[in-house]
Amino acid sequence: MTIRLLFDEGYDKQIIAGLIKELPDLDVLRVQDADLMSQSDPDILEWAAQAGRIVVSNDRATMIEFANERLRTNKPMPGLIITRDKPIGAIVEQLAVAVSASLPDEYENRVVHLPL
């Protein structure tokens, strides 16, 4: 089974492009491409759950709390990867290593912070 990612709105395009360059077969979708622009975090997490996509975000202010709320209420969540503010190359490398060395079910119902 392949890891499928959904990048949150406002995520740096250079990071997404770098990740695709590193892992060209990775299934990547941006919130903008899924017609989810300006949707609330709970709506994005719900859409991702229905689509079987792990959300990648750098929104530590609200996304983590909404993900934790899904977990508290036993709603499914393929996962949430939270990245820190690092140089673009470091984030690309951390994401590439994380997704290439794991299976989708390792993220299920979890909030993962990178770097680990």
Parallel/antiparallel/unpaired status of strands 54-57 and 4-7: parallel
Q: Please, which residues bridge with residue 113 across strands?
A: 82
pLDDT bin (cut points 50, 70, 90) of residue 68 is very high
Q: Provide the residue range defining the domain that includes 72.
A: 4-114
Q: What three-state secondary structure class fits 94?
A: helix
The number of folded domains in the chain is 1
Residue 8: closest CA among 47, 73, 58: 58
**Residue 1 reports pLDDT greater than 70:** no
Q: 16: domain CATH number? A: 3.40.50
Q: Are 88 and 15 in contact (CB under 8 A)?
A: yes
Task: Quote the CA–CA distance of 64 and 51 in Å, as a whole number.
Answer: 19
16 has pLDDT over 80? yes
Predicted confidence at residue 37, as pLDDT, reads 92
pTM of this structure: 0.95
